[in-house]
Amino acid sequence: MGAGAFGTSLAITLARDGHQVRLWARDPGAMAETRESPRLPGIAFPDGLEVTGDAGALAGAEAILLAVPMQALGGLLDAHPALWPGQTLAACCKGIDLARLTGPSQLIRDLAPGAVPAVLTGPSFAADIARGLPTALTLACAGPEAAALQARLSTPSLRLYLTDDLAGAELGGALKNVIAIAAGAVIGAGLGDSARAATMTRGFAEMSRAAAHLGARPETLTGLSGFGDLVLTCTSEQSRNYRRGLALGRGDAFDPSMTVEGAATARAMARLADRSGLDLPITRAVAALVDGEVSVHEALADLMARPLKEEQAPQAEPARREEP
């Protein structure tokens, strides 16, 4: 469900592997006729891929992948309640819902209580998946369906690693987008690769600290869904979050219609930090940047003026379950 670049790329690779796949789109007309997505030009749909605008056509599916933006997930779950009971729902979005301050797995638990929640996340660009380039992702699922779902969604070019730590997997995918905006702003402002490396390293410490505070296992963040995704999105202009940071650093305009999950995640995490006293200086700086409250150089000056401290591995705090 969701015919953006990422959802469509997953549908293509699964259909190419011999699965019968239905791709639900809000406006399927052009794609159904041309058998190609305008977001993935030149990549033809396999024969096993059917495009539909009828959500009811997904009833009875083996699993449903929810590939809509994070801020649209709640509305999607509310809109189609008949689809969810007994269904395995794998969220493919990365972020934190601004209204509820929770991740996708908790949204599924709250709004589709009869479903089995899962999260598919990790370092990937849609075009790479659609072209059949080798990609490894994390599949987080705590139910008995986990191993079967891992086998169903893996293909010769798409390798899935399994974890039962849904909080860790989704927080890694969400929080790295915030750091990617910061890394892009550093490069866009001409501050250099050394500053980017420092941003990534201290950003990863911040990600690990926040995830542990919210009940995740710290080691999950060292895997594909945390560190792996962080490396990809902080170093490539294919990342929309990184490009958003570049624009901020350069003072360039940015297409406001483009989904940049890290902006909403920074705002949500800043609110959580206010509530809990969690120390998230880079996240707070990014939230202020995207809201136009500070410049890149002002944010940098604030970060560089922080009290000096020892460097140490992030320590796990007792899980406090900050979710509502």
Active site residues: 176
Q: Report CA dihedral (281, 284, 286, 292) to the nearest 10 degrees.
A: -130
Cβ contact 238:39 at 8 Å:
no
DSSP per residue, 65-126: EE-S-HHHHHHHHHH-GGG-TT-EEEE---S-BTTTTB-HHHHHHHH-TTSEEEEEESS--H
C-beta atoms surrounding 295 within 10 Å: 16
Cα–Cα distance for residue pair 300/181, rounded to 1 Å: 13
Cα–Cα distance for residue pair 4/7, rounded to 1 Å: 6
Both tokens of 93, joined, read 């979005």
For the four alpha carbons of 272, 273, 278 and 284, in that order, the dihedral sign comes to positive
Closest CA to 175 of 238, 240, 241, 257: 241
Closest CA to 160 of 186, 195, 131, 129: 129
Both tokens of 192, joined, read 């250099």
Between the two ends of the chain, the Cα-to-Cα distance in Å is: 26
DSSP state of 308: P
